[in-house]
């Protein structure tokens, strides 16, 4: 029987497509973005999966920002990582800002499942929102506690931000419009880990940090209240490929064990243990899991 050329071409295309796909390891791969908290959360997921199974988890941490982690997840190069609901809603899914936490979670779950075949797990128990941070001495000098109050001093100040925050739809452009923020010069963009050094060294006067950053408490800094409620909710949630959950059901056991177990204070303490005390992230996570009976 003569074979149809179109069928042969289609078959060749499928072979090429498969050959270009990322290899499928026989173990789960957990990713993380490129800052301390993300490494902690990635390590926490990995350790909990290993504890609930006989699986060895591969760690692929420091994957730049949200966009890179998302692309890696969709492409199957990682099987899961922890994201924040507000980031998922606005930066990844390009949805309008919604300030109701349950509504945001429902939307994120529905769209990740429908568009990407990704399961959004139960929240881990804390929220990590953006935090506009100033030196404690400046907060006391000018009697500042809110962003609205700080707006009048911003024209004399220099701002430091991470690369994502400068461009994100829930980041600097919208925040500046909401509060009428204008600064002495264009914002200085830098790696997240350098922001607090720049603030303490008086190289900048305000930074866009995160509410669970360890240095806030360690250095006596002040987080300005978002009194106009600009930022959406940012609950920490694990994102896992449905294909991975089918292949390794033990991952769900780990997600269930971690649901609601991490407070904002827990997260700040672990971040500071690594950034301030220079402890190993894996050791910090093991100690946390022991304290929680995990």
| CATH number for 212 | 3.40.190.120
Give yes or no: residues 60 and 74 share one domain. Answer: yes
Burial of 32 (0-12, 13-18, 19+ CB in 10 A): buried
Same domain, 29 and 117: yes
Q: What is the pTM of this model?
A: 0.77
38 domain-assigned:
yes
Using the 3D structure, point to which of 224, 252, 280 is the last residue of a domain. Answer: 224
C-alpha–C-alpha distance, residues 81 and 62, integer Å:
11
- Residue 18 falls within a domain, yes or no? no
Same domain, 62 and 113: yes
Together in a domain, 31 and 105: yes
Has residue 1 been placed in a domain? no
More confident residue, 235 or 19: 235
Query: Does residue 100 lie within any of the structural domains?
Result: yes
Parent domain of 275: 24-127+233-291
Total count of domains within the chain? 2
- Residue 97 and residue 242 in one domain: yes
Residue 7 is predicted with a pLDDT of: 40
29 in any annotated domain: yes
Q: Can you give the CATH number for the domain in which 36 is found?
A: 3.40.190.10
Same domain, 68 and 160: no
Asked if residue 10 belongs to a domain, the reply is: no
pLDDT tens for each residue of 117-164: 999 999 999 999 889 999 999 999 999 999 999 999 999 999 999 988
Q: What is the pLDDT of residue 22?
A: 53
Residues 99 and 173 in one domain: no
Same domain for 85 and 29: yes
**80-89, 191-200, 234-243: lowest mean pLDDT where?**
191-200
Instruction: Assess if residue 19 is contained within a domain.
Output: no
Note whether 112 and 148 are same-domain residues: no
Residues 158 and 136 in one domain: yes
Domain match, 238 and 202 both: no
Among candidate residues 200, 224, 248, the one where a domain is terminated: 224
Q: How confident is the model at residue 23 (pLDDT cuts 50, 70, 90)?
A: low
* Chosen domain end from 224, 241, 268: 224
Residues 123, 139 within the same domain = no
Is 274 inside a domain boundary? yes
∠ Cα 113 171 199 (to 5°): 130
């Amino acid at each position: 029987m003569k074979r149809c050329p179109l069928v042969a071409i289609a078959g060749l295309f499928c072979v090429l497509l498969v050959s270009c796909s990322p290899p499928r390891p026989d173990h789960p791969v957990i990713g993380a973005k490129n800052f301390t908290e993300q490494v902690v959360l990635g390590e926490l997921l990995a350790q909990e999966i290993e504890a609930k199974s006989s699986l060895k988890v591969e760690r692929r941490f420091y994957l730049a920002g949200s966009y890179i982690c998302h692309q890696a997840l969709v492409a199957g190069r990682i099987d899961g990582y922890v994201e924040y609901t507000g980031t998922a809603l606005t930066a990844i899914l390009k949805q309008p800002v919604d300030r109701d936490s349950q509504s945001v979670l429902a939307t994120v779950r529905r769209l990740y499942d429908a568009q990407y075949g990704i399961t959004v797990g139960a929240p881990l128990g804390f929220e990590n929102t953006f935090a506009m941070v100033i030196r404690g001495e400046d907060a006391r000098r000018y009697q500042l506690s809110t962003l609205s109050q700080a707006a009048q001093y911003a024209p004399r100040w220099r701002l430091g931000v991470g690369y994502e925050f400068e461009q994100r739809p829930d980041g600097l452009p919208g925040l500046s419009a909401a509060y009428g923020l204008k600064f002495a010069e264009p914002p200085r963009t830098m790696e997240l880990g350098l922001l607090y050094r720049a603030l303490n060294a008086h190289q900048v006067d305000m930074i866009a940090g995160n509410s669970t950053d360890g240095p806030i408490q360690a250095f006596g800094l002040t987080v300005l209240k978002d009194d106009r409620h600009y930022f959406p909710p940012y609950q920490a949630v694990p994102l896992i490929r449905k294909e991975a959950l089918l292949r390794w059901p033990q991952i769900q056991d780990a997600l269930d064990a971690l649901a609601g177990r991490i407070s904002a204070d827990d997260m700040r303490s672990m971040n500071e243990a690594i950034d301030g005390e220079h402890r190993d992230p894996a050791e910090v996570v093991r100690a946390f899991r022991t304290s929680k009976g995990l």
